[in-house]
Structure 1
Amino acid sequence: MQLVPVLEIRHGKCVHTEPKNSFANQVVKEDAFEVVKRWSEKGVSRLHIVDVDAIESGEPENVDLIGKIKKAFPSIELQVLGGIKCVESAYIWADIGADFLVLNGRAIRRRNLLDDICVEFPNRVLVELDCQKGLVGTRSGEPAYELLSLARQLEDDGVVGLVVTEIPEKGGSGGANLIDIVEISRNVEMPVYANSRIEKLADLKKILESHTEKLSGLLIGKALHNGLCLSEANDLVQQYHAN
């Protein structure tokens, strides 16, 4: 299992957005490139990049910057989310070096597009899903999908990985609860990455103690800008893998 830092980019700057509200953001670093350089020096091998501008506009935006990052750090795998609403948009990210293309939850309602992108980019498509109590919601009035069943369908369709967020119930704290994500990671062959909402090392320790050995990775975002030491977090992961 690896730790995957989340880099959210808006107007070329590294930001932190509030969950499901890309318009509410805080600039945490003026130079996003420098953030990646620092993470690279700590041994990061994979990044989850969110083009916040692309989510807002519906098409790739921070293309030059993300291409610059890939060129400078070719050994880091980039999985890029944002603005993939057609095959042509997917080609834009692929052409600047994105290793994996991340489609958001709308992809499950646009299966023809998902199929087309999987055909054009075999072994490179991930899907991001939000779940609550084992269900993946859709638009109001539409039936929800059962998470494990949907994961298996997506795997059959050619998706090669999932990025999953467990949404806490109203009044719940969420945090390090990954019960449903761990369950699907045990029942599909493709990699599953959990949006972990880790805030401190104690949260990471709790996750590592909860039989998460099948998880491929944990996404970490805000905590890395709020004082969590990436080196210490990686050391903790290695410690549990060695036991």
Structure 2
Amino acid sequence: MDIIPAIDILDGRCVRLYQGDYDKSEVFGDDPLEIAQRWYNQGAKRLHVVDLDGAKEGEPKNLKVIEAIARSIPMHVQVGGGLRDRQSIMSIFAAGVSRVIVGTIAVEQPQLVADICAEFPGQVFAGIDARNGKVATRGWMENSEVIATNLAQRMTAFGVAGIIYTDIHRDGTMQGPNLEALRSLAEVVSVPVIASGGISSVTDLLSLLALESLGVNAAILGKALYTGDVDLHEAIKAVGNGRLQDVPPDIGSAIA
């Protein structure tokens, strides 16, 4: 199972939100690039970056720091937050990111998702963030009536390479992942599923291994890493895969 550390960027700093609430943010570092280097040094092969300002405003707002991370640290970077039109998605790819994560447009502009998937096969993931099984959009600030499992099936048919599923009620709470919801979603799609939200211990990661046969092949770690409840190096030793060797060829190049 891949263990993917998360960096959520708000006002240029690394923060964690509680259940997606912007008014309940906790700052864990002023330099996201330094933190990305820390996770790389501890064995991470991929980094999950969320532009929280972008998610709130509807367009990327932390592009410079995202590019700095993607160009200077030799690991794969996946980015979400505010990617609601083709131009925004292209700007993220141009920054050296290997995967984009689309959320709101999966609900509002599904044809755009299909078009981007066709143009960038294997590089587009659907971020499905749910409250009580229903999808939230626009930086988790709006609730829809779309059922998470239904959206996952639709996005799979449109060509996404995988699903990142976040239970918003668990996110930042350290209460453990929603195994039942993850199982229900993984059972109806044929693409990999990445678990996110609530993971607080290596025990939680081991519980996710029971779902690996269904396609839950990665887990995103956030607050537990920053509080020290989970040691990344030890977590990778316990359940993780080795570091990827196929890093993008332009990694390490100077940033203009």
TM-score w.r.t. length of structure 2 = 0.80
Change (3 A) 1:141 1:10: closer
Any conservation in 2 of the 1:129–1:136 contact (CA below 8 Å)? no
Counterpart of 2:92 in structure 1: which amino acid?
Answer: W
Instruction: Indicate the residue corresponding to 2:21 in structure 1.
Output: 21
Give 1:79 deviation, angstroms: 0.9
Equivalent runs, 1:57-206 vs 2, <5 Å = 57-74=57-74, 76-131=75-130, 135-137=133-135, 143-145=145-147, 147=149, 149-167=150-168, 175-206=176-207
Change (3 A) 1:128 1:189: same
**SS of match in other structure, 1:22:** strand
**SS of match in other structure, 2:219:** strand
Give the length in aligned residue pairs.
Answer: 233
Cα distance in 1 for residues equivalent to 2:34 and 2:240? 26
Instruction: Indicate the residue corresponding to 2:239 in structure 1.
Output: 237
Counterpart of 2:111 in structure 1: which amino acid?
Answer: N
Sequence identity (%): 29
Equivalent runs, 1:221-232 vs 2, <5 Å = 221-227=222-228, 228-232=230-234
Cα distance in 2 for residues equivalent to 1:22 and 1:101? 22
Change (3 A) 1:174 1:166: farther
Instruction: Indicate the residue corresponding to 2:253 in structure 1.
Output: none
Change (3 A) 1:238 1:47: closer
Give 1:56 deviation, angstroms: 2.0
Any conservation in 1 of the 2:175–2:199 contact (CA below 8 Å)? no
Give 1:95 deviation, angstroms: 0.4
Give 1:64 deviation, angstroms: 1.2
**SS of match in other structure, 2:233:** helix
**SS of match in other structure, 1:216:** strand
Any conservation in 2 of the 1:136–1:144 contact (CA below 8 Å)? yes
Change (3 A) 1:184 1:64: same
Cα distance in 2 for residues equivalent to 1:204 and 1:160? 22
Change (3 A) 1:174 1:167: farther
Give 1:168 deviation, angstroms: 5.3
**SS of match in other structure, 2:216:** coil
Counterpart of 1:199 in structure 2: which amino acid?
Answer: S
TM-score w.r.t. length of structure 1 = 0.84
Cα distance in 1 for residues equivalent to 2:198 and 2:148? 22
Cα distance in 2 for residues equivalent to 1:141 and 1:176? 21
Change (3 A) 1:175 1:106: farther
**SS of match in other structure, 2:60:** coil
Cα distance in 1 for residues equivalent to 2:72 and 2:144? 44
Instruction: Indicate the residue corresponding to 1:5 in structure 2.
Output: 5
Following TM superposition, the consecutive aligned residue runs of length 4 or more in structure 1 with deviations greater than 6 angstroms are: 138-142
| Partner deviation per Cα, 1:143-195 (whole Å, 9 max, x = no partner) | 43360x432221111111111023559xx995233123134334433221011
Any conservation in 2 of the 1:175–1:197 contact (CA below 8 Å)? yes
Cα distance in 2 for residues equivalent to 1:48 and 1:77? 9
The gaps in structure 2 that reach 5 residues or longer are 242-256
Counterpart of 1:88 in structure 2: which amino acid?
Answer: Q
Cα distance in 2 for residues equivalent to 1:159 and 1:85? 16
Give 1:68 deviation, angstroms: 1.1
